[in-house]
Amino acid sequence: MKIRIVLSLTAFFVVLILSAAIFSTDSNPPCDAPLLGAAHSGAPGEVNCTGCHTGTANNGTGTLIFNIGSGSAEYMLGQNYTVTIKLSQAGVNKFGFQVIALKDSNNTFVGSYTLTDTVNTRIIIGSGGKKYLGTTKCGSDSPTSDSIEWSFDWMAPGIDQGTITFYLSSLATDHSHTSAGDETYTGTIQLLPPMTGIAKDMNQIVEIDLYPNPASDFLIIKHNLPENEDLLISIFDFSGKLVTHQLTDFNKQGSNQTFVHLKALNLYPGIHFVQIKTVDGISIHKVLILD
């Protein structure tokens, strides 16, 4: 009988310990946000966060701040921009977002991302070559309650892609693991193409010649400068994605040339664009790369 009592008491205390552990567990632990799949940015043909959460977008009490670079309405070819997203809502410490940059003419992805915070942001691959940027599991946790901020870099295409629109869908959630009690906030930023005439003005100032074209092993860029200045030479593929760039500094007035070893760049065959940038402007030249 005594043995049975001891066993019963032991079982009782085990139950108490397990119950205490269960009820003392944080119902909102860190780094437990689900990894959202692609196509939730609110872009044309896509859902925003209301696709999984109740409520109406932009109807909550929070605030969304969405900025690209200095806020210019125009993108410069091959320019790198810092994108910042800040979402605030009182009493919330779990947030999320997804964003994409699309060319208005056909809604294809344009430009390229650089992760500057790999702990909190990640690139999400979608269909049709689309690339989204969103939060990681830990990236949804606010270090302080009520607000959170993310940032990443986006490089504009090296060739004119027409008007580009960024689509953003974001979420402030009570993390109750239900669709209720969450608020969705959306935003768009439209970037106009660079002013026409920049490349033309550059060509009038700087004499530029590329050969051979088509090219295979190497490319020589000749430039005749009216004065001493630095040049930034960049190569983009047909979609406008940066392949490589090099700074050819201390170019003297008069005739200069730059040698580009194409084989070392492992470029795929096809049309590429060589961009030459100085303080005076930008010049873009089409080059056919052979296998």
Question: How much of the chain, in percent, has pLDDT values that exceed 70?
Answer: 81
Query: Which of 74-88, 162-176, 235-249 has the weakest average pLDDT?
Result: 235-249
Residue 8 has pLDDT above 80, yes or no: no
Question: Could you give the CA distance from residue 255 to residue 226 in angstroms, rounded to a whole number?
Answer: 9
Question: Could you give the CA distance from residue 49 to residue 43 in angstroms, rounded to a whole number?
Answer: 12
- Greatest extent of the chain over all pairs of C-alpha atoms, in Å: 106
Same fold for the pair 49-191 and 198-289 = yes
Question: Could you give the CA distance from residue 34 to residue 46 in angstroms, rounded to a whole number?
Answer: 19
Sheet holding 131-135, edge to edge: 121-125, 131-135, 94-103, 164-173, 183-191
Q: What is the per-residue pLDDT across 198-240, written as a single tens digit (0 to 9) for each?
A: 444 455 556 788 999 999 999 998 877 777 777 778 888 776 7
Return the domain boundaries, the chain.
49-191, 198-289
Q: Beta partners for 97?
A: 170
Q: What is the per-residue pLDDT across 150-172, written as a single tens digit (0 to 9) for each?
A: 999 999 998 889 889 999 999 99
Name the CATH code of domain 49-191 (choices 2.60.40.680, 3.40.30.10, 1.20.1280.260, 3.30.200.20): 2.60.40.680
Reply yes or no on domain 198-289 having CATH 2.60.40.3080: yes
pLDDT value, residue 249? 59
pLDDT value, residue 9? 40
